[in-house]
Amino acid sequence: ILSLAIVIHLIVQYREEAEKAAEASQKELVLQTLKEKIAPCFFAGFTTSLGFASLLLSNIEPVSTFGLMMIIAMVVTIVCTLLLFPALLLLFPREHVTESSSIFSGVMQTAQGFCTKRSTLIMVFSTVFFAVSVFGSLRLNVENSFINYFASDTDVHKELSFIDKEFGGSTQLDIVYTPPKTANPDKNLLLRAGDVQTAHSIQKSLAEFEAMGTTLSVVNFTQLAKQLNNNKPLTEYELTAIYWTLDKNVREDLLSSYFIEPPAQLRISARIKDSTENLDRGVLLADIHKQIQAQGVAPEDYKLSGLFVLYQAMLDQLFTSQILSLGAVFLALGIAFCLIFRSIRIALITIVPNIISAFAVLGVMGWAGIPLDFMTMTIAAIAMGIAVDDTIHYTHRYLQELATHTPEEAVARSHRSVGYALIYTSLIIALGFGLLVFSDFVPGVLFGLLTGLAIIIALIADLTLLPAMLQKFVRGPAAKTAER
C-alpha cells in the first residue's frame, strides 16, 4: 500500500513533466521526475518510518516487533520505488500526455477556493475540531474482554462462550493465600482451622461476582471430608491425619495444586467468564482485592496471579505505550521537519494537520466508546507517520511555487499538481487498510477502518488547513514585492 502511494507521486510528476516538455526523451523525463521527487519521496518514507519506530518504545513485544518489521518494509519500499521503478520506466517509450480533467477537479477547486478566501474560517473550525477530539480522547479506556475480539458468529467466539457456560469460565485467576505466622505454632498441625476458614471466606466472597465461574481449593476437600463424616466438620488434627494417611501419589494429584507446605500456602483456583456482559477487568480485579481484604486478609498475605491478571497488566500498559508512542512521534517529526525545511516556523505549521488527524481518530474512538487494545493503540502513531507523507509533498511543492509566485498562486498551482496525487494516494491507502473490514478479528477490523479514517482526515487537513496556514504565515519574495 505504501509502495503504491510513493509510485503514484512519481507517476503524477512524470506526467506533469511530459505535458510541459513535449519533445523531451524518456530518459530526460525520468531524470527530471527523480530530480523533483526524490527528496520529498525519500523524506516521506523516512518520516513514515519514524511513525513505526515509535512502536519500538512499547513494552508489548508484538507491538514493538510490528514496528521493527514495518521499518524494514519501508526501507525496501524506498529502494524499490526510487531505483527499480524509474529503471523499469526506462524500458518503455515515453508517454505523450494530453491535459485531461479529473473526477476530483470539482473537489480540488472547492478546496482551493476555501484556502484562498476562507483561511481564517478554516483555522477556527480546525481549532474547534481539535478541541472536541482531545475531549473525546480523554474518554478512552482499554479493551476488557478477550472474547469480544471475535465476531459473535465465529467459531472462536462460540467455543469460548460454550466453555464459559458449560465449564465454569475460560480465563484462569489464582489467589495464593499465605497464612500469617503465629507466635507458638503447633508443628504437628499441617493447617490451622482458622486458615481453612479464611480460605473458605475468600472463596465464598468470590462467588458473589457475576463473572466468576468455578472456584476450587482445599476448602472443597474439607467439604468432601465433612460429607463423608456424617456432615460433621473435621478438626484441624483430623485433617492433618487424613492428609498424611493418603497415598503420596493420591496426595500430590488431589492437593498439590491447592496446598504447598512448608511454609503453608493455599491456592484458590478460579475461572472468569469472559462472555459476561459489560465485563470490566480493571473494576473486577479492584473489587476482588476489596472483598479479600474485607475478610481480614492483609495485602501482603495474598497475591493474585494467572492469565487474567497477566492480560490485565498488559492492557494497563496500553495507555502508557500510547502516550509514549505519540510523544515520540511528535518530537521526532518536529525535528525531522526542522531539518527537511530548515525552518522552525514551517516545521510547526506542517506538524499541525498531522497532530489533528492523530487526535481526531483517538477522539472518534473515545466518543464512540471504542476501547484501546493491542491493535488500535498503534493507530494514532502509524496514521500520523503515514499521513505526514502528503504534508511533505504538498509543502515541498508550495515552497517551489512560492519562489516565483504569490502565496495565493502557489496554493492554486500546488492544488492543480500535487493535490491530485494526494487524493489518489490517500484513497489507495485508506482503501487498502479498509480491506481489513473482512476480517473476523474485531480489533483488526477497527484498526483498518480507523486508520483509513485518519488518512482521510489528514488528506482534508492537507488540502485545506495546511495551505491556509502556509499562505498566511509563509510569504515568498513575490508576495513581499506585491505588498510593497
Is 365 within 8 Å of 312 (Cβ atoms)?
no
Question: Are the beta carbons of 199 and 177 closer than 8 angstroms?
Answer: yes
- For residues 230 and 287, is the Cβ–Cβ distance under 8 A? no
Q: Which domains does the chain carry?
A: 2-138+312-483 (1.20.1640.10), 152-305 (no CATH)
Return averaged pLDDT per consecutive 10 residues of the chain, 484 residues in all. Answer: 84 87 89 91 86 80 87 91 91 77 81 87 94 91 74 84 86 90 68 81 90 87 76 74 75 74 82 85 89 91 90 74 76 88 91 90 90 76 78 91 90 89 89 88 87 90 93 73 49
Task: Count other C-beta atoms under 10 Å from residue 73's C-beta.
Answer: 15
Give the Cα separation of 353 and 467 in Å (integer).
10
3-state secondary structure of 298: coil
* Residue 176: C-alpha distances to residues 217, 267, 296 (Å): 10, 4, 15
Three-state SS at 115? helix
User: What local confidence, expressed as pLDDT, does residue 144 receive?
Assistant: 62
Q: How far is CA 407 from the centre of its chain?
A: 38
Contact 118, 467 (CB under 8 A): no
pLDDT the model gives residue 125: 94
Three-state DSSP class for residue 216: strand
CA distance linking residue 441 with residue 422, whole number of Å? 30
- Burial pattern 218-235, b for ≥16 Cβ within 10 A else e, equals bbbbbeebeeeeeeeebe
Residue 84, class by beta-carbon neighbours within 10 Å (0-12 exposed, 13-18 middle, 19+ buried)?
Answer: exposed
Instruction: Name the residue type at position 432.
Output: G
d(CA 37, CA 57): 31
CB-based burial label for 462 (10 Å; 0-12, 13-18, 19+)? buried
CB 151 within 8 A of CB 327: no
pTM above 0.85, yes or no: no
Q: 278: phi > 0 → left, psi -120 to 50 → alpha, else beta; which?
A: left
Give the C-alpha separation, 218 to 192, whole Å.
12
pLDDT of residue 186: 66
Closest CA to 30 of 93, 86, 88, 85: 86
Q: Is the peptide bond before 233 cis (omega within 30 degrees of 0)?
A: no
What region does 195 belong to: left with phi over 0, alpha with psi -120 to 50, or beta?
A: alpha
**Contact predicate 68/57, CB 8 Å:** no
**So what's the pLDDT on residue 31?**
94
Cell numbers 502557489 correspond to 410
Of 298, 63, 329, the residue nearest 198 (C-alpha): 298
pLDDT of residue 477: 66
Element (H, E) at 173: strand 171-177
At 45 the pLDDT is 86
How far is residue 199's CA from residue 196's CA, in Å, rounded to a whole number? 5
Cell matching residue 381: 502513531
Q: How high is the pLDDT of residue 143?
A: 64
In this structure, are strands 259-260 and 302-305 parallel, antiparallel, or unpaired?
unpaired
Beta strands, E only, 224-345: 259-260, 265-272, 302-305
**Cell numbers at residue 468, please?**
491556509
State the cell numbers at 244.
498424611
Tell me the pairing of strands 171-177 and 259-260.
unpaired
State the Cα–Cα distance between residues 156 and 66, nearest whole angstrom: 24
Q: Which three cell numbers stand for residue 186?
A: 503447633
